[in-house]
């Protein structure tokens, strides 16, 4: 005969259950999963990303802007917009160097000197340390990523980690050696290893909810033989499954974002279930280890900044993959969440009022599509050889202290965030 619980025991049991429920509902209330076109948290609530990109993939290979502001201040800027997500980029080279250094990451001092030279490297390093006194010359690059992740978690902002490039540098062109699997700097083996490493390491980041396998796959025009042999949907499918399975094996909690061809501008064959040329296989979530678990998300970029018709732009977006968010019809074979992880434009007094920017400000909230605008950065440690490069598309100004275009932020961006998350 089972013992009968007394009143005290029942009260304790109730408190325990209540504590478990409360704990499970605590932010970020993950792991996140997909169901049809939606992303859900552990309680079944819809989750839509509305955020920005914070680059960490360029030559120094740490998140930008720390020579001007503290991590806390930068994250507070993101939070003040009402945003709930940051796409944090990294380079595979960082992980390659960890493996080459017997499992130990290189220090900030070495990272800045090798990227900027001895004199400027030490100068900028000292600025970073002055603004972020929790670091020192022996702090490693990955420890800076850890600190950014901790602050994003503290301020309840989801982290979408993105493998932006293999060799740490500005991205992207079809001739940069990073364009396609097998290109000059793009080792498939190192890419898989790097994804697995970061997925495993990310288990210590409570705010990490998703990872993008590769930014902007594109034709390797400087390698015609590679382009002819493998730049196609059939090869894309093989590589995406390989990367996704590596991530899922290392950290099954993460959503996995799949990007399309031609600089991630279209995923039409995937959404429509068309043959993945030159083969005959069709996209099937069951082909991915993470697929049946509800972990796959599609991502697209759009930079049609010269658009003159919102109707035409909307039609292009639907046709290129956002129709996966619509009710299933004859054209849509695979209904999945779609996130626009990059779009952007010059941050001045007028561009945001044009067709492109104003159309996206309507389209994405209407579709309840997630998005992360390019880019938060007001400047870069170095970009394409120019140190302290000013980013005219940056939400923040050069020293990351204020908005570059207050008119856009107050006149459109904050409303876009609210409407997306409402």
- CATH number, domain of 102, equals 3.20.20.80
3-state secondary structure of 61: coil
Question: Is 12 within the bounds of a domain?
Answer: no
Decide if 333 contacts 271 (C-beta within 8 A). Answer: yes
Predicted pLDDT of residue 4 = 40
Grade residue 327 by pLDDT with cuts at 50, 70 and 90: low
Structural domain for 258, as ranges: 47-303+318-342+363-421
φ, ψ dihedrals at 332, nearest 5° = -105, 115
Predicted pLDDT of residue 9 = 43
Which is it for strands 386-390 and 379-383: parallel, antiparallel or unpaired? Answer: antiparallel
Cα separation, 243 vs 230, whole angstroms: 16
pLDDT tens digits for 281-308? 999 999 999 999 999 999 999 999 999 9
pLDDT tens digits for 129-162? 999 999 999 999 999 999 999 999 999 999 999 9
C-alpha dist (Å) from residue 200 to 34, 125, 190, 196, 249: 21, 28, 15, 6, 9
For range 384-396, the mean pLDDT? 98
The sign of the CA dihedral 402, 66, 375, 147 is negative
Mean of the per-residue pLDDT values of the chain: 94
pLDDT tens digits for 48-89? 999 999 999 999 999 999 999 999 999 999 999 999 999 999
Q: What is the DSSP string of 155-222?
A: TT-EEEEEEEESSSS----TTSS-SSTTSTT--HHHHHHHHHHHHHHGGG-TTEEEEES-S-----TT
φ, ψ dihedrals at 89, nearest 5° = -100, 150
Angle at 348 between CA 343 and CA 351, to 5 degrees: 55
Cα separation, 259 vs 270, whole angstroms: 10
pLDDT tens digits for 1-41? 333 444 344 334 444 434 434 344 699 999 999 999 999 99
Closest CA to 370 of 417, 411, 313: 417
Other beta carbons within 10 Å of 301: 21
Predicted pLDDT of residue 326 = 85
φ, ψ dihedrals at 298, nearest 5° = -95, 140
Predicted pLDDT of residue 25 = 64
pLDDT tens digits for 228-268? 999 999 999 999 999 999 999 999 999 999 999 999 999 99
Question: Is 121 within the bounds of a domain?
Answer: yes
Decide if 237 contacts 283 (C-beta within 8 A). Answer: yes
Question: Is 130 within the bounds of a domain?
Answer: yes
Closest CA to 181 of 100, 99, 243: 243
Cα separation, 178 vs 182, whole angstroms: 9
Predicted pLDDT of residue 16 = 43
Cα separation, 57 vs 34, whole angstroms: 28
Closest CA to 184 of 173, 193, 195, 194: 173
Neighbouring-strand partners of residue 342: 301
Grade residue 328 by pLDDT with cuts at 50, 70 and 90: low
Cα separation, 85 vs 80, whole angstroms: 12
Predicted pLDDT of residue 290 = 96
φ, ψ dihedrals at 31, nearest 5° = -75, 150
Q: Could you tell me how many helices (H) and strands (E) the chain has, helices first?
A: 15, 12
pLDDT tens digits for 117-136? 999 999 999 999 999 999 99
For range 202-224, the mean pLDDT? 98
pLDDT tens digits for 332-385? 999 999 999 999 999 999 999 999 999 999 999 999 999 999 999 999 999 999
**Position 274 pLDDT exceeds 70:** yes
Long-range contacts (CB closer than 8 Å, 24 or more residues apart) made by 327-332: 331/272, 332/271, 332/272
Decide if 264 contacts 300 (C-beta within 8 A). Answer: yes
Question: Is 408 within the bounds of a domain?
Answer: yes
Predicted pLDDT of residue 331 = 83
Number of domain units in the chain:
1
Q: Tokens at residue 47, please?
A: 């989750």
Question: Is 27 within the bounds of a domain?
Answer: no
- Residue 139 gets the label, from left (phi > 0), alpha (psi -120 to 50) or beta, of beta
Cα separation, 383 vs 370, whole angstroms: 28
Cα separation, 188 vs 238, whole angstroms: 11
Neighbouring-strand partners of residue 370: 339
Cα separation, 151 vs 75, whole angstroms: 7
Predicted pLDDT of residue 373 = 99
The sign of the CA dihedral 162, 164, 167, 170 is negative
């Amino acid at each position: 005969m089972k013992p009968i619980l007394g009143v005290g025991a029942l009260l304790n049991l109730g408190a325990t259950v209540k504590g478990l429920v409360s704990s499970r509902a605590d932010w970020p209330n993950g792991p996140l999963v997909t169901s049809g076109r939606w992303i859900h948290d552990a309680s079944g609530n819809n989750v839509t990303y509305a955020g920005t990109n914070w680059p960490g993939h360029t030559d120094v290979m740490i998140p930008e802007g720390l020579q001007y502001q503290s991590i806390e201040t930068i994250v507070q800027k993101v939070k003040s917009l009402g945003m709930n997500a940051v796409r944090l980029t990294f380079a595979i080279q960082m992980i390659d160097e960890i493996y080459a250094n017997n499992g130990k990451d290189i220090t900030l001092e070495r990272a800045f000197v090798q990227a900027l030279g001895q004199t400027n490297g030490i100068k900028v390093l000292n600025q970073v340390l002055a603004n972020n006194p929790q670091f020192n010359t022996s702090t490693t690059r990955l420890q800076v990523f850890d600190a950014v992740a901790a602050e994003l978690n503290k301020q309840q902002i989801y982290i979408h980690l993105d493998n932006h490039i293999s060799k740490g540098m500005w991205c992207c062109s079809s001739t940069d050696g990073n364009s396609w699997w097998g290109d000059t700097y793009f080792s498939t083996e190192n890419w898989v290893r790097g994804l697995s490493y970061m997925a495993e390491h990310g288990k210590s980041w409570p705010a990490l909810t998703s990872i993008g396998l590769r930014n902007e796959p594109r034709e390797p025009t400087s390698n015609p033989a590679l382009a002819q042999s493998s730049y196609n949907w059939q090869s894309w499918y093989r590589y995406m499954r390989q990367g996704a399975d590596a991530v899922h094996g290392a950290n099954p909690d993460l959503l996995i974002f799949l990007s399309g061809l031609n600089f991630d501008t279209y995923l039409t064959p995937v959404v429509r279930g068309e043959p993945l040329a030159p083969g005959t296989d069709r996209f099937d979530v069951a082909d991915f280890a993470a697929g049946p678990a509800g972990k796959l998300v599609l991502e697209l970029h759009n930079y049609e900044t010269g658009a003159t018709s919102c109707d035409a732009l909307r039609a292009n977006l639907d046709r290129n993959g956002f129709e996966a968010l619509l009710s299933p019809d004859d054209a849509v074979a695979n209904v999945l969440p779609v996130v626009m992880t990059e779009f952007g434009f010059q941050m001045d007094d007028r561009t945001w009022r044009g067709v492109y920017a104003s159309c996206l400000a309507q389209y994405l909230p209407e579709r309840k599509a997630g998005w992360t605008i390019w880019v938060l950065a007001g400047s870069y440690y170095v970009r394409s050889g120019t140190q302290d490069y000013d980013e005219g598309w940056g939400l923040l100004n050069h020293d990351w202290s204020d908005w570059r275009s207050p008119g856009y932020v107050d006149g459109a961006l904050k409303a876009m965030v609210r409407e997306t998350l409402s």
